[in-house]
Amino acid sequence: MPKAHRYKFCFGPWNISEGQDPYGPTTRPAQTFDWKLAQLKKLGFDAMMFHDDDAVPDIDGKSDAQLRKETGELKKKLADAGVAAEMVAPRLWFSPMTMDGAYTSNDSKCRQYAIERSLRCIDIANYLGTDLIVLWLAREGTYLREAKSGRRSIELLVEALDKMLAHDKKIRLSIEPKPNEPMDHAYLPTIGHALAIAQLTRDPKRVGCLIESAHAILAGLDPADEIDFAMAFGKLWSLHLNDQNGLKFDQDKPFGSSNLRVAFNQVRALERNGYGTHGEYVCFDVHPFRPTKVEHWLAHLDNSRRTFLKLLKKARSFDDNKAKQLIADRNLAALDQMVLEHLMGA
Ligand code: GLO
Ligand code: MG
């Protein structure tokens, strides 16, 4: 195990959400960005994640000069609060231009829009002082397999990644795979897909990934294995910890809420690979439960971090030597019980 280090924590403004879902409206009043930033600081988190339009609202109608001005103001706000910008992500799933996909849209004008917007997102990241772009490829997939060519879509994705890499020689692209939702099937559903497509780009070293626990579970995988896999390539540049109860809609539950043991194994995987020792953040992509009152609005974030830190203690105090002996003796029943009792504190 590498020497113990302090983890740095992060979330995005969308994680203080108002409770709407496809079947009902908000259950809490909208809050300003400044209020959310103040809460992040009060909770003692280190950084904030941004969509391009979290940083510059209504970005599509704005000139580059406006973009630079508004990002400058945001940068000052963050500096005054002592909060870093972890990453910027182009929100490529909201505009009417991306209803049939962004980089893989069947309409070349829409693809052009998606690429131009991504290049502006890179400019925002530059102004804010982060070299990390996160690409959650929300609509790069199909509702109907016959609606797009999978082969052509991969070529279009590579073309888009190449344009981003060429726009800025320092920027790093972190692909956040998700197998479904909002699409039926996505083109890059797992970390294996993300790291494979990186190899087809003009600069594979600058294309890595972000693992979200819920997305791995939706793909039927163990997020701990995804962490080990990505880190074996040195490519895990960000992380969205949360939880998910099986194959349902994307739930974004607090970390550890559904399956403490799966959460424990993610923390163990992060520890054995030294996640965070190169400046990476632990981000929580979690949402409050819909009935949550305003006065309990931040608990899911604070709780996720508390659970993480408690599981970190459990990971660091796990008796690895005893586990090794049980493994050598093929005594998996005893190993299983040892893990359970360690987690229960028995
Ligand atoms: C949705 C994703 C989403 C992204 C965020 C950053 O399923 O997890 O929350 O992480 O938009 O791009
Ligand atoms: Mg996410």
Residue 44: inside a domain, yes or no?
yes
Mean pLDDT, residues 91-116: 98
Nearest-CA residue for atom 7 of ligand 1: 250
| Beta strands 185-186 and 172-176, pairing class | unpaired
Residue (of 51, 44, 43, 38) closest to 80 by Cα position? 38
Mean pLDDT, residues 239-246: 98
Residue 51: inside a domain, yes or no?
yes
Look at residue 221 in the predicted model and tell me its pLDDT.
Answer: 98
Reported as a pLDDT band with limits 50, 70 and 90, residue 52 is very high
What is the reported pTM?
Answer: 0.97
What is the per-residue pLDDT across 3-47, written as a single tens digit (0 to 9) for each?
A: 688 999 999 999 999 999 999 999 999 999 999 999 999 999 999
Residue 248: inside a domain, yes or no?
yes
- Cβ atoms of residues 124 and 55 within 8 Å: yes
CA distance 253 to 289: 8
Residue 190: inside a domain, yes or no?
yes
Count the domains in the chain: 1
What is the per-residue pLDDT across 72-91, written as a single tens digit (0 to 9) for each?
A: 999 999 999 999 999 999 99
Nearest-CA residue for atom 9 of ligand 1: 285
Residue (of 55, 225, 211) closest to 128 by Cα position? 55
Residue 343: inside a domain, yes or no?
no
Look at residue 4 in the predicted model and tell me its pLDDT.
Answer: 87
CA of 70 to the centre of ligand 2 (A): 25
Exposed, middle or buried by CB within 10 Å (0-12, 13-18, 19+), for 288?
buried
CA of 181 to the centre of ligand 1 (A): 11
Look at residue 159 in the predicted model and tell me its pLDDT.
Answer: 98
Residue 335: inside a domain, yes or no?
no
Q: Nearest ligand, CA of residue 211?
A: 2
Q: Nearest ligand, CA of residue 241?
A: 2
| Beta strands 47-51 and 84-89, pairing class | parallel
Reported as a pLDDT band with limits 50, 70 and 90, residue 249 is very high
What is the per-residue pLDDT across 266-285, written as a single tens digit (0 to 9) for each?
A: 999 999 999 999 999 999 99
Percent of the chain scoring above 70 in pLDDT: 99
CATH of the domain at 195: 3.20.20.150
Higher per-residue confidence, 1 vs 187: 187
Pocket test for ligand 1, best of 176, 213, 253 (most atoms within 8 A of CB): 176
CA of 164 to the centre of ligand 2 (A): 21
pLDDT > 80? residue 1: no
Look at residue 84 in the predicted model and tell me its pLDDT.
Answer: 98
Query: In Å, how far are 88, 176, 280 from 43, measured between CA atoms?
Result: 21, 26, 19
Look at residue 146 in the predicted model and tell me its pLDDT.
Answer: 95
Look at residue 346 in the predicted model and tell me its pLDDT.
Answer: 66
Mean pLDDT, residues 159-182: 98
Q: Whole-number mean pLDDT of the chain?
A: 97
Pocket test for ligand 1, best of 132, 240, 282 (most atoms within 8 A of CB): 240
CA of 181 to the centre of ligand 2 (A): 12
Residue 3: inside a domain, yes or no?
no
Ligand 1 proximal residues by C-beta, below 6 Å: 89, 134, 136, 176, 178, 212, 240, 250, 285
Confirm whether 54 is a catalytic residue: yes
What is the per-residue pLDDT across 131-141, written as a single tens digit (0 to 9) for each?
A: 999 999 999 99
Q: Which amino acid is at 300?
A: H
pLDDT > 60? residue 240: yes
Mean pLDDT, residues 133-154: 97
Residues within 5 Å of ion ligand 2, judged at the Cβ atom: 212, 240, 285
Residue 20: inside a domain, yes or no?
yes
Give the residue numbers spanning the domain of 199: 9-318
Q: Nearest ligand, CA of residue 240?
A: 2
CA of 159 to the centre of ligand 2 (A): 24
**Choosing from 54, 123, 243, 285, which is the catalytic residue?**
54
Confirm whether 51 is a catalytic residue: yes
